[in-house]
Amino acid sequence: MHDDALSIPVDATSAAALAARGLRMAVVDPTDAAQTRAWAEADARGFHGGAVSDAFFAELSEDFPLNRTVGVYDDGSAEPLTPVGTVNAWPAALTVPGGEVGSWAISAVTVAPTHRRRGIARAMLESELRVAIAAGAPLAILTVTEATIYRRYGFGPATWSTDFEIDARRVGWLGAEAPGRLQLVGRDAAIATARPLFDAARRATVGDVEIVGHRFGRLFGVPSDEADQKKRRFIRYEDVDGTPRGLAIYRLVENPHDFTDFTVEVELLSATTDEAYAALWRYLLELDLVHTVRAPLRTVDEPLRWLVRDPRMIRTTELREHLWIRVLDPVAAFAARSYSGAGRLALRVADPLGHADGAITIEADASGRAVVTAGESPDGPLLELPVDLLGSLYLGGASAVALAAAGRLTERTPGDAALADRLLRPPIAPALMTWF
């Protein structure tokens, strides 16, 4: 991606569309405290948050130079300096099979309730796609609060996550004893451990995205909220050589009616080895006075179910899509990843916005590396699909066979979808372990 991606000016096409409706789109100056404060207040309001405190704004201020921040303004409103639409974005590394690819991460999409149905969301999102292309990103990514909005812009769900609720007193432990050592550590030690550990774990997890800006610090308790910080505890696993291999961040919630009935809420559990993963889970499940362990945002291929005596005591309370991908340059995107063996596959994509419209052919060798070219072969496997499903298939998180059975994509010949799954799907389902 281009080094100056954050300095790309306002998108002229979207700016003109909004100007026709009496609105103004502008890139926020990251050095202007008045502009950034007004934008932060509008963003918080869009997610029904409270007023932004001075301390919290000081934390956010460190992020503005890392992001390309955009506001839509109504200069005739009662508070013209406060945007009626917000969005920001930044370059972020996305782990793909066989490596990683640069992506355009989009967040903070809000529209004031007084300005609905005026084309603001469409203008902002279509603008971000064009900006991503200008930045050299082959795809855009986001996580969503509402899952019905983003398909119309070509995004498709690419990873899924589960929330667990575990009966710690009945689940029982079946796994082997880990040879390393568990250490309770303070916040500063946890942060120092987490920076290299989280990055190593992210690089090993297809679908995970690097954590940029204040989102890293907030995993350890909101820096401006001392009470929130005090609730978090940190347990680190070190291997036999003393090298940190895993870290869990958790909170203990007391039952006000029974001091022997605590709930553990796992904020994050990250490990770079199987031993560290098992040791951290065993620690959490065997804490004294704990009845329930809750763990959101876990993977659909979680090994924990095979480490306990009674997997029925691990109840899935929610299964949902998490990371959404919008492919913008199919040739570059599919050339950046590896494949699960040799084979040839063509994909013919329908993209109403035109960015990914057309066909590509993937020629993978036995090592899993591929040459990807524009156009399709006159014979051989072919799938025809809309652009949102291209994002869903990109990491192998969705099954082409299931999509064909649902009538969402078309095979040239029976069996083409099965071949696509053989090439595209990694051994472990892709997962994103945080929000952005």
- Considering only CA atoms, which of 163, 162, 168 is closest in space to residue 252? 168
Q: Residue 76: helix, strand or coil by DSSP?
A: coil
Q: Is the pTM of this model over 0.95?
A: yes
pLDDT at res. 300: 96
Q: Has residue 144 been placed in a domain?
A: no
What is the rounded average pLDDT of the residues 33-47? Answer: 97
For residue 129, report the phi and psi dihedrals to the nearest 5 degrees: -65, -45
The domain that holds 414 is classified in CATH as 3.30.1050.10
Same domain, 202 and 338: no
Distance between start and end Cα atoms, the chain: 20
Q: Is 36 exposed, middle or buried (0-12, 13-18, 19+ CB in 10 A)?
A: buried
pLDDT at res. 225: 81
Half-sphere exposure (Cβ direction) of 189: Cα atoms closer than 13 Å: 13
Same domain, 312 and 217: yes
Tokens 């192998």 appear where? 396
Containing domain of residue 35, as a range? 5-137
Same domain, 269 and 214: yes
Q: Do 68 and 26 contact (CB within 8 A), yes or no?
A: no
Identify the H or E element spanning 41: helix 33-46
Per residue in 383-396, pLDDT tens?
999 999 999 999 99
Same domain, 315 and 349: no
Same domain, 398 and 334: yes
Q: Do 15 and 40 contact (CB within 8 A), yes or no?
A: no
In our burial notation (b when 16+ CB lie closer than 10 A, e otherwise), range 344-369 reads bbbbbbebeeebbebbbbbbbeeeee
Per residue in 298-339, pLDDT tens?
999 999 999 999 999 999 999 999 999 999 999 999 999 999
Which letter does DSSP use for residue 67 in this model?
A: S
Among the candidates 320, 353, 378, a domain finishes at 320
Per residue in 248-286, pLDDT tens?
999 999 999 998 899 999 999 999 999 999 999 999 999
| Distances from the Cα of 177 to the Cα of 1, 70, 173, 314, angstroms | 45, 51, 10, 21
What is the rounded average pLDDT of the residues 27-36? Answer: 97
The domain that holds 74 is classified in CATH as 3.40.630.30
Q: How far apart are CA 394 and CA 341, in angstroms?
A: 16
pLDDT at res. 230: 86
Q: Has residue 436 been placed in a domain?
A: no
Same domain, 291 and 397: no
Q: Has residue 191 been placed in a domain?
A: yes
Pairing of strands 343-350, 358-364: antiparallel
Same domain, 166 and 315: yes
Per residue in 184-229, pLDDT tens?
999 999 999 999 999 999 999 999 999 999 999 999 987 778 888 8
Tokens 């505890």 appear where? 233
Q: How far apart are CA 123 and CA 31, in angstroms?
A: 25
Per residue in 401-433, pLDDT tens?
999 999 999 999 999 999 999 999 999 999 999
Q: Has residue 435 been placed in a domain?
A: no
Domain count, the chain: 3
Among the candidates 294, 320, 346, a domain finishes at 320
Per residue in 124-168, pLDDT tens?
999 999 999 999 999 999 999 988 999 999 999 999 999 999 999
Residue 386, phi-psi category: left (phi > 0), alpha (psi -120 to 50), beta (remainder)? beta
Answer whether residue 2 shows pLDDT above 70: no
Same domain, 211 and 301: yes
Place 377 in a pLDDT band, splitting at 50, 70 and 90: confident
Q: Is 51 exposed, middle or buried (0-12, 13-18, 19+ CB in 10 A)?
A: exposed
Same domain, 374 and 313: no
Q: Has residue 255 been placed in a domain?
A: yes
Same domain, 182 and 110: no
Spatial CB neighbours of 409, under 8 Å, sequence gap ≥ 6: 383, 384, 385, 386, 389, 400, 403, 417
Among the candidates 320, 347, 375, a domain finishes at 320
